Structures are given as structure tokens and as C-alpha cells.
């Protein structure tokens, strides 16, 4: 993408400027440029969200296996869409997960469990 309002012709300077723009707060930026940078980030991140329509898990898993096994930043970002670490982060070939989060809402959990009303055989808990 071109940087229209920069007088500096150097690509490196452009890049630095853009990085500054992305990382700094809104007050330092021209509004339109900030919007563009933000749009670009959103565009890049959108496919990694599982719920997004544009995500193609086939590409994520099979698309660029060589890059993924070499641990490119691109593949790392993509595999994080699955909620796990990148495959390269697995030190050994263990399948067991010891991770857990306390953030799960109880109400969210209840829907995974059978309740008295769910029992078709009449064995109510009550």
C-alpha cells in the first residue's frame, strides 16, 4: 500500500513511519492515515478469527505447511486461530494439555451439561 502524504522516498522510512502510526495513539496521527492503518490491521487479522466467514481452515492446516513448520510469523498467527500455540511451540510430541483458564463463565458451562429437563427417561434430579 502506498503512503500518499509522506515526502520521504525511502521505503524503509515509509515503513518506519507506518509502524509509528500503528503503534502510537490517535492524537499523533492524521485521521485518514490512522483509519487506513487500522483497516489494514483488521483486514489482516479478520481471517484468523474462527467465526469469520473468510476463514479457510483447509488453508490454515494444509496451505503452507513448509512455512508453518519453519515457524514463519504468518503461520504462527494463523494457527493461533485454533486457540492453541503454534505447532513449533510444542517441544515434544505429547498430546496432553495441562492448560486451563478460570475465565469460563459458569452460565456458559451449564449448557454443556444435561439437566433434569433434558432427561428423556424421567429421571429428574429433583
Partner 1 sequence: MSKRDTVQFEGHKFLKQRLVLSILSQRPVRIIKIRPDDENPGLRDYEITLLRLLEKATNGSKFEISHTGTSVLLRPGMITGGRIEMECPVSRAIGYYLEALVALAPFGKEQMTAVLHGITMNNTDLSVDTIRTATLVNYRNFGIEEGVELKITKRGAPPKGGGEVRFMCPVVRSVKPLNFVDQGKIRRIRGIAYATRVSPQTANRIVEAARGELNRFIPDIYIYTDVYKGAESGLSPGFGLSLVAESTTGALMTAELCANPGDAPEDVGRDAAKMLLNEIVRGGCFDSSHQWMALLMMVLGPEHVSRTRIGKLTPFTIQYLRDIREFFNITFKIKPDPETNTITMTCLGSGFTNVGKKTT
**Residues of the shown chain interacting with partner 1 in the complex, contacts defined by CB under 8 A:** 50-51, 55, 57-58, 60-62, 65, 68-69, 79, 82-102, 104, 106, 108-114, 118, 125
Q: Give the orientation angle of helix 11-23 with respect to helix 31-45, to 10 degrees.
A: 90
Q: How far is the CB of 73 from partner 1 (least distance, A)?
A: 16
Q: How far is the CB of 72 from partner 1 (least distance, A)?
A: 14
Nearest alpha carbon to residue 5 among 22, 29, 24, 39: 29
Nearer to partner 1, 4 or 113 (CB): 113
N-terminal to C-terminal alpha carbon distance within the chain: 64
Q: How far is the CB of 78 from partner 1 (least distance, A)?
A: 10
Amino acid at each position: 500500500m502506498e503512503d500518499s502524504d509522506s515526502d520521504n522516498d525511502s521505503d524503509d522510512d515509509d515503513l518506519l513511519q507506518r509502524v509509528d502510526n500503528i503503534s502510537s495513539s490517535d492524537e499523533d496521527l492524521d485521521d485518514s492515515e490512522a483509519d487506513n492503518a487500522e483497516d489494514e490491521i483488521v483486514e489482516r487479522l479478520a481471517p484468523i478469527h474462527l467465526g469469520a466467514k473468510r476463514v479457510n481452515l483447509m488453508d490454515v492446516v494444509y496451505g503452507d505447511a513448509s512455512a508453518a513448520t519453519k515457524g514463519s510469523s504468518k503461520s504462527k498467527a494463523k494457527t493461533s486461530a485454533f486457540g492453541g500455540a503454534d505447532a513449533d511451540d510444542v517441544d515434544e510430541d505429547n498430546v496432553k494439555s495441562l492448560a486451563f483458564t478460570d475465565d469460563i463463565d459458569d452460565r456458559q458451562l451449564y449448557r454443556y451439561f444435561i439437566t433434569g429437563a433434558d432427561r428423556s427417561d424421567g429421571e429428574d434430579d429433583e
